[in-house]
Structure 1
Amino acid sequence: MWRMNRKTKLYLIIAFAWTWIGWGGAYMLSERAGLVLSTESTLLTLFTEFLGTEAFAPQLIFALAVYGPFVGFLTVSGFRSLNGRADKRKNLWPYIFLIPVISVLPAVIFSLLTSFYDLKGQSIGTAFSAVWMYFLFNIITSGTEEFGWRGFLYPEMKAEGMSFWDIAWKGGFVWALWHFPLLFILYLPAGAAVLIPSLIGFTASIVAMNYITNFLYEAMDSILAVILLHGLNNTMSFLLVLLFPGTPFTLLTSLMAWVFVWWIEKKHGDLIKAVNGKPDS
């Protein structure tokens, strides 16, 4: 059972309310105007594609909704340094870059073997620019979630005496649940047969990513590191879909996240057991 303190409850109320109201409101405004809400738009495309159009208001609300965890963090905790104490940090920077890249490799290989490759008429240079811009804007949008999930929620759960795995499961479910309105927007039109498996699969993958990201934050004591991990992970998923639209192998990236959980357990079990000064269970 999770007995939340007042600060944790306030953080979650703010993070969820800001995001759910924003995403839900943007969707309803778009529906009322007969518009299709673009869930892949960035802050750049917001001003280059939607400025001066009827779609600008709902797209702006949708873009700002992602800052719920960051707003919650600033409210209950105040701003903090992107890096903690240097004497506490382990040099695991290769993990930040290798985990997102290796996670998509099986999906890329199987997609290539089954001829799903399709740039939709784009040049390699254009595709590279799109990926680079997506990464940069992901850092300042979705990446800011890490101030809330790692910068506040993880240490709060840890201080309450939870084991590392308890934090992974419970925090991962909270993180996944926060995304649910977006998944409803994306998959509800396809019906329950698509929506329900998507919710289950997404939740399972987020629990794994919560474990991985918590581990790296614990080991590196760096918000910057997990912001980069978050941005790179989302960008590699974007690249996979960009190069292989319609590929059925995106599920492999979620499975790979659990492979990394297993690998971290084997290689870094001592650090995980040391969390809260007791063995993990």
Structure 2
Amino acid sequence: MKKTRLFLLITFSITWLCWWTLSIIKLDNSPIFNNILHVVIFCLGGIAPTIAAYVAIRFTDKQTKAFNKSVLQFRTHIGFYIFSIFVVLGIKYIAIWLYDIYNTPIWAELSPQFMALIPLTLIMIPLGGLEELGWRGILLPELSKKINFKTSALIVSAVWAMWHLPLFYINGMSHYQSDFLAFVLQTIGLGLVLAWLFRKTNSIFICVLFHAFHNATSSIGLNLPDNGNYITVSIWLLLGLGLLVFGNRNKELAKKAQ
């Protein structure tokens, strides 16, 4: 558990020091990228899980080569890449459809910028995707050595969600004063999907892309109004819990039969 404790200590120390500091010094609601100092502090906090992952490896088992192999492991069944794209976009569309059934329809008002998805995904790799080196690359497999995978996936997803807390106090961030409970529940659902994806592929690479693509879709104009947040939350939670419970059922039954 030394690697786990070291990873969490470094991650939360760097991120929370940076982001809580930013919540104090940033007083207006201007975009965070208008100020170079704010950008540096924000990005340093966001890259902390990646830094912590390599430091934890360096001072414990020193298995950097094996870790890098998983980071760069892009050769996996194409079905998992297709799954990632259709799940992220599919949940957006299902949530909009359900919202329109029970509320004033918003579909006609939306103008999603699909052409921006690829460049935005590339931008979101350093601005979110690389977190996966820490959360799914280090914390999930390390916890899974001590407790069962399902419990580990739930714990990692909850810790990952709570790690974002300071963002809700930084003026000018999209998270600022928004519904933290909705964010936590959706992030847990998303984390469970990522945990399933990592277990199936043993690839940190695909988790990075999934995370980045998810963040990118939130910036192209497919978001629900605030009163529809829990529709999206519910879908992610149901999918995540479904994959957690039933996603590896065949493997578990095979083990019991041996």
Normalising by structure 1, we get a TM-score of: 0.73
SS in 2 for 1:238: coil
Judging changes above 3 Å, is the alpha-carbon distance between structure 1 residues 244 and 147 closer, same or farther for their aligned structure 2 residues? closer
Residue in structure 1 matched with residue 157 of structure 2 by the alignment: 172
Query: Residues of 1 paired with 2:45 and 2:18: CA distance?
Result: 5
Q: CA RMSD in A?
A: 3.2
Judging changes above 3 Å, is the alpha-carbon distance between structure 1 residues 6 and 14 closer, same or farther for their aligned structure 2 residues? same
Pick aligned residue for 1:92 from 65, 80, 104: 80
1:29 aligns with 2:29: no
Pick aligned residue for 1:141 from 102, 107, 127: 127
- Alignment size in residue pairs: 242
Task: Report if the CA contact (8 A) 1:70-1:148 is conserved.
Answer: yes
Task: Report if the CA contact (8 A) 2:23-2:169 is conserved.
Answer: no
Q: How does 1:135-214 map to 2 (within 5 A)?
A: 135-160=121-146, 162-185=147-170, 190=177, 198-214=179-195
Shift of 1:91: 5.0
Shift of 1:187: 8.6
| Structure 1 residue ranges without an equivalent (≥5) | 40-45
Query: For residue 36 of structure 1, what is the amino acid of its counterpart?
Result: N
Q: How does 1:1-281 map to 2 (within 5 A)?
A: 5-31=1-27, 35-36=28-29, 38=31, 46=33, 50=34, 55-77=35-57, 78=64, 80-81=68-69, 82-84=71-73, 91-110=79-98, 114-116=104-106, 118=109, 127-160=113-146, 162-185=147-170, 190=177, 198-239=179-220, 242-243=221-222, 246=225, 248-264=227-243, 265-266=245-246, 268-271=248-251, 273=252
Query: Aligned residues: percent identity?
Result: 22
SS in 1 for 2:26: helix
Task: Report if the CA contact (8 A) 1:111-1:247 is conserved.
Answer: no
Query: Residues of 2 paired with 1:62 and 1:115: CA distance?
Result: 36
Query: Residues of 2 paired with 1:188 and 1:13: CA distance?
Result: 24
Deviates more, 1:109-118 or 1:20-29: 109-118
Shift of 1:188: 9.2
Query: Residues of 2 paired with 1:245 and 1:92: CA distance?
Result: 27
Query: Residues of 1 paired with 2:48 and 2:39: CA distance?
Result: 16
Query: For residue 23 of structure 1, what is the amino acid of its counterpart?
Result: W
Query: Residues of 2 paired with 1:244 and 1:229: CA distance?
Result: 18
SS in 1 for 2:150: helix
Instruction: Tell me the alpha carbon deviations over residues 217-276 of structure 1, each in whole angstroms, 9 at most, x when there is no partner.
Output: 01111111111111122222333xx255735323222211123235423354224x38xx
Instruction: Tell me the alpha carbon deviations over residues 60-107 of structure 1, each in whole angstroms, 9 at most, x when there is no partner.
Output: 211332101101011112451224597x97953322212111111122
Task: Report if the CA contact (8 A) 1:139-1:228 is conserved.
Answer: yes
Task: Report if the CA contact (8 A) 1:91-1:220 is conserved.
Answer: no
Task: Report if the CA contact (8 A) 2:92-2:232 is conserved.
Answer: yes
Query: For residue 164 of structure 1, what is the amino acid of its counterpart?
Result: F
Judging changes above 3 Å, is the alpha-carbon distance between structure 1 residues 37 and 74 closer, same or farther for their aligned structure 2 residues? farther
Normalising by structure 2, we get a TM-score of: 0.79
Instruction: Tell me the alpha carbon deviations over residues 29-72 of structure 1, each in whole angstroms, 9 at most, x when there is no partner.
Output: 222xxx32535xxxxxx4xxx3xxxx221132113321011010
Task: Report if the CA contact (8 A) 1:111-1:244 is conserved.
Answer: no
